[in-house]
Amino acid sequence: MDFLTGGGISFLLLVIISLLAVALIFEKVLQVFFKLRINVDYFLAYVLKLVESDNFSKAIGLCDSLARHPIGQVVKAALLKANKSDREIERSLEQTATKVVPEIRRRTVYLSLLAHLATLIGLLGTLLGLITAFGAMAAVDPTARSAMLSEGVGTAMRSTVVGLLVAMPCLIAYVVLRTRENHLIEQLDHCAITMLNVLAARNAKLLQDK
């Protein structure tokens, strides 16, 4: 606790930032590592099997069971346009992807913002601490100035240290979460392209049979 004493408003702001970061990290980890975790290969293979047997109602019902998952929404969007033109299927996929991708990335960028804010607030606290320390030296006996300067500089530098200690976990969490989000979006793209190709091939075959 002695390390945190004398930090003033900068330490208070850093504590607030750290609490916000912890809450945000918890929310995002819960979302991208647990709520959005499904066996994509199994799900897609099962849907394609239902499409092959023309059991679209069951395939759509399967997607409804994953209504809150972006992949479920994208695959359903393709299935609902299964008997339309390739362009309409593609447009439906694009519109759905435009809606669900921002949901995957929602609020993650704030971790980067909090990391930068923590660093800047730490530096600002150090500068303000140094200004205060040098200002107070004017009223101190010359023999005590050296000791007071050392103490003032040490106290001021703590703000930078705390700022960096808050910023580094934020940046690490940001990179980890962004990597996971990118992986989810790649899976989303794979499902969308697969559904488009399969439905386009199916529709082309139906036209030939006519």
Domain residue spans of the chain: 2-203
CA 70 to chain CA mean position, Å:
15
Burial of 210 (0-12, 13-18, 19+ CB in 10 A): exposed
What rounded mean pLDDT belongs to the chain? 89
Instruction: Give CA–CA dist 198/11, Å, rounded.
Output: 57
Side chain identity at residue 196, one-letter code: L
Instruction: Please state the pTM of the whole predicted model.
Output: 0.85
Q: Which long-range contacts (CB under 8 A, 24 or more apart) does 196-201 make?
A: 196/78, 196/86, 196/89, 196/90, 196/93, 198/48, 198/51, 199/51, 199/78, 199/81, 199/82, 199/86, 199/89, 200/86, 200/89
User: What percent of the chain has a predicted confidence (pLDDT) above 90?
Assistant: 71
pLDDT digits (tens, 9 = 90+) for 61-77: 999 999 899 999 999 99
Are residues 146 and 66 in contact, defined by beta-carbon separation less than 8 angstroms? no
- List CB contacts of 128: < 8 A, sequence separation 6 or more: 8, 10, 156
Measured CA to CA in angstroms, residue 104 lies from 10, 43, 56, 162 at distances of 33, 19, 27, 31
Q: Which residue has the higher pLDDT, 131 or 186?
A: 186
pLDDT digits (tens, 9 = 90+) for 154-192: 777 888 899 999 999 999 999 999 999 999 999 999 999
Are residues 104 and 70 in contact, defined by beta-carbon separation less than 8 angstroms? yes
pLDDT digits (tens, 9 = 90+) for 82-104: 999 999 999 999 999 999 999 99
Instruction: Give CA–CA dist 22/19, Å, rounded.
Output: 5
Side chain identity at residue 128, one-letter code: L
Instruction: Give CA–CA dist 185/183, Å, rounded.
Output: 5
Instruction: Give CA–CA dist 43/4, Å, rounded.
Output: 52
1-21 residues labelled b (16+ CB within 10 A) or e (exposed): eeeeebbeebbebbeebbebb
pLDDT band at 3 (very low <50, low <70, confident <90, very high): very low
Side chain identity at residue 12, one-letter code: L
pLDDT digits (tens, 9 = 90+) for 10-26: 888 999 999 999 999 99
